[in-house]
Chain A
Amino acid sequence: MAHGPAKGLSRWFYTTNHKDIGSMYLWFSFAMFFLGGIFALVIRAELFQPGLQIVEPGFFNQMTTMHGLVMVFGAVMPAFVGLANWMIPMMVGAPDMALPRMNNWSFWILPFAFAMLASTLFMEGGAPNFGWTFYAPLSTTYAPASVTFFIFAVHIMGASSIMGSINIIATILNMRAPGMTLMKMPLFVWTWLITAYLLIAVMPVLAGVVTMMLMDIHFGTSFFDAAGGGDPVLFQHVFWFFGHPEVYIMILPAFGVVSAIIPTFARKPLFGYSSMVYATASIAFLSFIVWAHHMFTVGMPLLGEVAFMYATMLIAVPTGVKVFNWVTTMWRGSMTFETPMLFSIAFVVLFTIGGFSGLMLAMAPADFQYHDTYFVVAHFHYVLVPGAIFSITAAVYYWLPKWTGHMYDETMGKVQFWTAFIGLNITFFPMHFSGLAGMPRRIPDYNPLWADWNMISSVGAFMFGAAQLLLLYNVVKTIRGGKKATAEVWEGSHGLEWTVASPAPYHTFTTPPEVK
């Protein structure tokens, strides 16, 4: 039983070890993060000045589409699955994931999905150019021929996510160490349990909507074609029924990460543990009944607008509970500001700003002004970049000593944090203003009225991109060497993963630990 990893490349192809698979997920998502980042920088370079300078409008549209798809499905989601693979078995005292072979498969189909998606860039007619939300009929009647490859890539990604989620739920429900009751689980495990249920509920809906597109394009049905009795608005309903839970899929595990880090560096237990669990569950439930706030302008009756508006605003309540608990955990704590803590505090502050602009967008009458402008772009980048990306970065710094056995370079970590933090705000804050001044999304050229805001945003984007190169450098440097890490790593660390040696042995908890 106690054997090490296989030698050579076959280790990575055949592995069923949760730590190997976790590492592959993380590296894969890191690669996709850089790919999506390059697409974003093409967009920002084009928008540096009004007028067309660098790319054709058609290619610009392909960039906005591919940036969104790669970041959502390639960078953020696999990164969280990678963290889950690495940490959940160690956090609940299990020897591995419940279904190790399926785990291997759910990872290895991902590179094929994204190779297929990226290859559309070199096809005749170009890559998908209809935005990451791929509204019909833009994505059916008027789509480039490569749309079929996009559809199958989405199918594969969906299959991967569903398998990953089944694995995570099965692990959490069946493989906990004796004494690890549900309400003793670390919050990262809790948030992932709920996220996995969301994934299983909505990824099939995404698969359904792209299948309907496929049938409209190739098999003569008219789900979304008004000429045949279908309705394009139906597409938006089905898409956002998937899409809104999807945005919580990208943020709930982040809540778990931050709820692990803040208590460590505040040296206090998390304030309001059970309220955190219930708040997460409430957010997950509410995510299913607010989808139409993405489509206030399609011509809904007043009653619909009001109902979706209030349901959306209701989400601010459980989210407010969470922010309150994080702040209260820090209150009078004996805080230190190592890199993971800096990223977590920035998460709390900036995610709250994104939440406030979300509330502004939730107001149906005001939304008619904001709809499809850069204000929306500013809002979702404020929740996704400091939300998902910062929490993943925080998690990497926090658990890197456990993974590699070496401490990272604290100074370099802080340099990365401040570059990313300043770069992010320079990029996305001005978008609020260009959006309120009326600048629409997804345009390659624009009125000179918005030139200054765009120039500032572009400068910030390149700064933020440079910060990610620093992260890559820091990670590689830590893997190659550094100060030896202790088993606890952090003075205030708490939980089963800190009871095993650093680096974590290839097999952990082959005999379950006793949890009191």
Chain B
Amino acid sequence: MATESDRKQLRTTVLKLLSLAGAMFVFAMWVMPPLYDLFCEVTGLNGKTKGQYTAVEAKVDTSRTVKVQFVSTNNEGMPWGFSPQDFSIQVHPGEAVVTNFIAHNPTEKIMVAQAIPSLIPHNATDYFHKTECFCFNQQTLAPGETAELGLQFIVDQELPKAVNTITLSYTLFDVTESAKEAVEQKQKELVQKRISTEQPATADSQTLTAR
């Protein structure tokens, strides 16, 4: 029968293999997703744009014009109206440009949306800076409300010469389900607004009587 050393050897083999399996599970769950995000961020692949950018003093390169196109898409089942104000703008590298997207909530309920950007070509992602963007926050709209969602960006002077057109696309997702707080807050704001719009007469009379 198996001797003590045989058993010990067997135990070592099994422990090694079990830890390999455990390590691979950890790798898949907790290493691959952040690694993937990091990889996309470093290479600019997958259209992931950078976060907020603080503008630095820079000269505007008027000798060059780059076309920036805007695309808006609604994720499946998202009922909002969503479109860019300008479908395409000619910009000079280094200049701060402001544009808007128009969003409209046609439903009867308060809804919260998140816009997810995607940018091509991928070698332009490092040179497209957003100083302000509605995509940094979730957007809450009351029933029937229309809003201008602002975007301010700078195309870097270092943009590779081969890039003449940049396309920035936003997909709008319905995140109402997971943003209960935002809905509640909007509800409160709406109630207050209704009070303040219904109140003026009474408020005035109250002040009058008080006086």
Instruction: Kindly state the separation between the CA atoms of A169 and B21 in the bound complex, as whole angstroms.
Output: 13
Residue from A170, A205, A227 having most chain B Cβ neighbours under 10 A: A227
Give chain A residues whose Cβ lies under 8 Å from the Cβ of B29: 208, 211-212
Query: Known contacts being A237-B32, A301-B45, is A166 close to B18, with CB within 8 Å?
Result: yes
Q: Which chain B residues numbered 4 to 57 have a C-beta less than 8 Å away from chain A? A: 6, 9-10, 13-14, 17-18, 20-22, 24-25, 27-29, 32-33, 36-37, 40, 43, 45-46
Give 1 or 0 for each of A224-262: 1 = CB within 8 Å of chain B CB: 001111110110011001100000000000000000000
Query: Which of A200, A227, A233, A299 is close to B17, meaning CB atoms less than 8 Å apart?
Result: A200
**Number of B residues, CB within 8 Å of A:** 32
Give chain B residues whose Cβ lies under 8 Å from the Cβ of A204: 21-22, 24-25, 27-28
Give 1 or 0 for each of A165-196: 1 = CB within 8 Å of chain B CB: 11001100110000000000000000000000
**Number of A residues, CB within 8 Å of B:** 37
Query: Which of A170, A200, A238 is close to B20, meaning CB atoms less than 8 Å apart?
Result: A200
Give chain A residues whose Cβ lies under 8 Å from the Cβ of B40: 231
Q: Is the CB of B25 within 8 A of A207?
A: yes
Give 1 or 0 for each of B165-190: 1 = CB within 8 Å of chain A CB: 00000010111001000000000000
Instruction: Kindly state the separation between the CA atoms of A32 and B40 in the bound complex, as whole angstroms.
Output: 41
Instruction: Kindly state the separation between the CA atoms of A166 and B122 in the bound complex, as whole angstroms.
Output: 44
Give 1 or 0 for each of A491-515: 1 = CB within 8 Å of chain B CB: 0000000000000000000000000
Who on chain A is nearest to B24 by CB?
Answer: A204
Q: Is A87 an interface residue (CB 8 A)?
A: no
Q: Is the CB of A208 within 8 A of B10?
A: no
Q: Is the CB of B46 within 8 A of A233?
A: yes
Give chain A residues whose Cβ lies under 8 Å from the Cβ of B25: 204-205, 207-208
Who on chain A is nearest to B22 by CB?
Answer: A204
Instruction: Kindly state the separation between the CA atoms of A165 and B21 in the bound complex, as whole angstroms.
Output: 10
Instruction: Kindly state the separation between the CA atoms of A229 and B14 in the bound complex, as whole angstroms.
Output: 39
Q: Which chain B residues numbered 71 to 96 have a C-beta less than 8 Å away from chain A? A: 75
B120: min CB distance to chain A, Å: 8
Q: Is A471 an interface residue (CB 8 A)?
A: no
B174: min CB distance to chain A, Å: 8
Q: Is B159 an interface residue (CB 8 A)?
A: no
Query: Which of B24, B173, B175 is close to A201, meaning CB atoms less than 8 Å apart?
Result: B24
Who on chain A is nearest to B6 by CB?
Answer: A174
Q: Is the CB of A166 within 8 A of B45?
A: no
Query: Known contacts being A227-B173, A234-B33, A234-B36, is A174 close to B10, with CB within 8 Å?
Result: yes
Who on chain A is nearest to B177 by CB?
Answer: A220
Give chain B residues whose Cβ lies under 8 Å from the Cβ of A226: 75, 116, 171, 173
Give chain A residues whose Cβ lies under 8 Å from the Cβ of B46: 231, 233, 299
Residue from B25, B43, B75, B175 having most chain A Cβ neighbours under 10 A: B25
Q: Is A290 an interface residue (CB 8 A)?
A: no
Give chain B residues whose Cβ lies under 8 Å from the Cβ of A208: 24-25, 27-29, 32
- CB pairs A–B below 8 angstroms (23 shown): A99-B14, A170-B14, A170-B17, A173-B13, A200-B24, A203-B21, A204-B21, A205-B24, A205-B27, A207-B25, A208-B24, A208-B28, A208-B32, A211-B29, A227-B75, A227-B114, A227-B173, A227-B175, A228-B114, A238-B28, A300-B45, A301-B43, A301-B122
- Can you list the 10 inter-chain pairs with the closest CB atoms, starting with the nearest? A208-B28, A227-B173, A204-B25, A204-B24, A205-B28, A208-B29, A166-B17, A226-B116, A170-B13, A204-B21
Task: List 19 extra interface pairs beyond A204-B24, A229-B116, CB under 8 A.
Answer: A98-B13, A169-B13, A169-B17, A170-B17, A174-B6, A174-B9, A200-B20, A204-B25, A207-B25, A208-B25, A208-B32, A209-B28, A211-B29, A220-B178, A227-B75, A227-B173, A228-B175, A231-B46, A238-B32
